[in-house]
Amino acid sequence: MMVNTMEKSGRGRKVIVQFTTSPLGEGISVSRFVAEALREVEKSGLRYQLTPMSTILEADTLEEAIKVILEAHEAVFKAGAKRVVTDIKIDDRRDEPRRMEDKVEKVRRQLGK
């Protein structure tokens, strides 16, 4: 699990967004396309985690997260894909500030770890 150490956002409300961007019809291995999408995420300065199946972003606003995802989506086209599918899952909690790690920690506490 990799967490980007560049932190653009402060301690306020956070939107946590998971997304997957994939080219269709480009063969079995698509890592070069994923790398291009991730370059856009890195340019944003947002905190993120790259997982085996998706990328998770932490942003101050939903608009900020969606902008980065759109740039990542477009990067896959620029890398040569003719068709791209992007799936997005949004966790927008407004009653308290939290981070990606907070969600995992709460589950670990429930497990007694």
pTM (global) more than 0.85? no
Domain boundaries, the chain: 2-110
| d(C-alpha 27, C-alpha 36), whole Å | 16
Kindly list the distances between the CA atom of residue 90 and the CA atoms of 38, 64, 75, in Å, as whole numbers in the listed order: 18, 12, 21
- Choosing among 3.30.565.10, 3.30.70.930, 3.40.50.11890, 3.50.50.60, the CATH entry for 2-110 is 3.30.70.930
Q: At 94, which amino acid appears?
A: R
| d(C-alpha 97, C-alpha 8), whole Å | 15
Q: What is the pLDDT of residues 37-73, one digit of tens each?
A: 999 999 999 999 999 999 999 999 999 999 999 999 9
Contact 36, 80 (CB under 8 A): no
Contact 9, 31 (CB under 8 A): no
Q: What is the pLDDT of residues 70-103, one digit of tens each?
A: 999 999 999 999 999 999 999 998 888 888 888 8
